[in-house]
Amino acid sequence: MTETQDIVVGLTAVVLAVTDEVPRVLVVRRLSHPLSTPAQRGSESSQVDSPDTLPFGPFDPTRHRTLELGLRHWVEEQTGLDLRYVEQLYTFGDQYRDLPELQGGPRVVSIAYLALTHESDVAGSGEADWQDWYRFLPWEDCRDGTPKVVEKVIRPALRRWIRQAGDRSQRSQREERVSVCFGLKAPAELDRIRTLERYELLYEVGLVLEAHRDHQQLQLLNGSDDIPPDPELVETARQLSPPLALDNRRILATALSRIRGKLAYRPVVFELLPKDFTLLQLQRVVEALAGVRLHKQNFRRMLFTGELVEPTGRRDASGRGRPAELYRFRREVMRERSAVGVGLPNLRAAE
């Protein structure tokens, strides 16, 4: 290892929009890593398919007065999008979480941001594209009950993992973690807030592709004799969800965790909706984010007693059934009450 190592501060964006009940995230298909040198680019041909990447760029203190401005700059450049609501998520800096570093490059400290917008046409230097968020985290969408992949793929693999434990104490530790994240006995709904915890379990178990990729890279670096990954497990991971670059899936999980937590006490949903909306539209967006279905009448009651919305007087023409009244967000609540949000149900059954 060298005496000194450069640091690059990277900025990564999770740009989220919800259209037609589908939460979508903006990804860029890159030809190479944004930080790699031309020399490295050649050697990167070993990577057959270049996986989707979140919009990303290095923070340049000479050009960016603040971190957030830097992020907006890169998203603008790569996707043509001018963001509105932006919030910082988390900063990732673990060793070897980035490819160029594995090739002797700088250590990349990535600051991840979450942006909320409406879906719109994208253009820009990268091939930007909206992708279904739950394609990358399919186990998180419980709107139609516990997803099939959980029953058919994840839980069996987790049971196998528990059986493979070395000793008794490791076994019970594994049992506990699985039980907390996915529920072992009761077919309970997944706990909406433990998104990140679930991702980390799946990574450790090897049910996401990047776990194997990172493992291989590390072995290559250490020059240790390669312990080949369980090919069956890799295949399972491949079927479960498509590959994502770097630690981007972890960042996605962090973002989902954050927005699910925030839904209940901050009026973030409205950033994802047009100025005027029907109550069902609002409910669908909340459901898409929370990953669960809600009771319609109670949801509406909550909105009214909380005075979160006000009628515009107009009605929605499209749609099949009885036309719905159009509402708008009552911004005033934010000064009237402290915690303003759409308060998700407790799902008592899950306890």
Residues near DNA, by CB under 7 A: 278-280, 295-298, 300-302, 305, 319-325, 343, 345-349
Residue 300, binding choice from DNA, its own copies, none, Cβ under 5 to 8 Å by partner class: DNA
With contacts defined by CB under 8 A, how many residues of the chain interact with its own copies?
A: 40
Q: Which is nearer to DNA, 276 or 325 (CB)?
A: 325
Smallest CA-to-CA distance from 18 within 187, 109, 134, 106 is with 134
CA angle (341, 344, 349) in 5-degree steps: 165
Q: Which does 319 bind (CB under 5 to 8 A by kind): DNA, its own copies, none?
A: DNA
Are residues 173 and 202 in contact, defined by beta-carbon separation less than 8 angstroms? no
Q: How far is the CB of 181 from DNA (least distance, A)?
A: 22
Residue partners of 196: CB distance under 8 A and separation at least 6: 250, 253, 254, 257
* 155, 192, 213, 258: residue in contact with its own copies (rule CB under 8 A): 192
d(CA 292, CA 146): 9
Q: Which stretch binds its own copies (CB under 8 A): 231-239, 282-290, 308-316, 336-344?
A: 336-344
| Residue from 46, 66, 169, 297 in contact with its own copies (CB under 8 A) | 66
What is the CB-side half-sphere exposure of residue 191 using CA atoms within 13 A?
17
**What mask, x for binding its own copies by CB under 8 A, covers residues 149 to 188?**
---------------------------x--xx--------
Q: Does 293 bind its own copies (CB under 8 A)?
A: no
**Helix locations, 223-324, DSSP H:** 231-240, 248-263, 279-290, 296-305
Q: In angstroms, give the least distance from the CB of 291 to DNA.
A: 16
Considering CB distances under 5 to 8 angstroms, the limit depending on partner class, which of DNA, its own copies, none binds residue 349? DNA
b/e per residue 46-55 (b: at least 16 CB within 10 A): eeeeebbbbb
By C-beta, is 154 or 340 nearer to DNA?
Answer: 340
| Residue whose CB is less far from DNA, 238 or 296 | 296
Report the C-alpha gap between 15 and 24 in whole angstroms.
8
CB of 151 to DNA, least distance (A): 21
- Note whether 142 and 291 are within 8 A (CB): yes
Residue closer to its own copies, measured from CB, 28 or 89: 89
User: Which lies closer to DNA via its Cβ, residue 1 or residue 317?
Assistant: 317
Closest CB to DNA among residues 169, 346: 346
**Partner whose binding site includes residue 321, from its own copies, DNA, none (CB under 5 to 8 Å by kind):** DNA
Assign 3-state DSSP to the chain and report helix, strand, coil percentages, each to 5. 45, 20, 40
Task: Give the burial class of 58: count Cβ atoms within 10 A of its Cβ; 0-12 exposed, 13-18 middle, 19 or more buried.
Answer: middle
Q: Which two tokens stand for residue 232?
A: 């069956």
Asked if residue 351 binds its own copies (CB under 8 A), the reply is: yes
Q: Does 4 bind its own copies (CB under 8 A)?
A: yes
According to CB under 8 A, which residues from 114 to 153 bind its own copies?
none
Check: CB of residue 112 under 8 Å from CB of residue 257.
no
46, HSE (Cβ side, Cα atoms, 13 Å): 7
Interface residues with its own copies (CB under 8 A) are 1-5, 7-9, 59, 61-62, 65-67, 88, 90-91, 93-95, 106-107, 109, 111, 176, 179-180, 191-194, 265, 334-339, 350-351
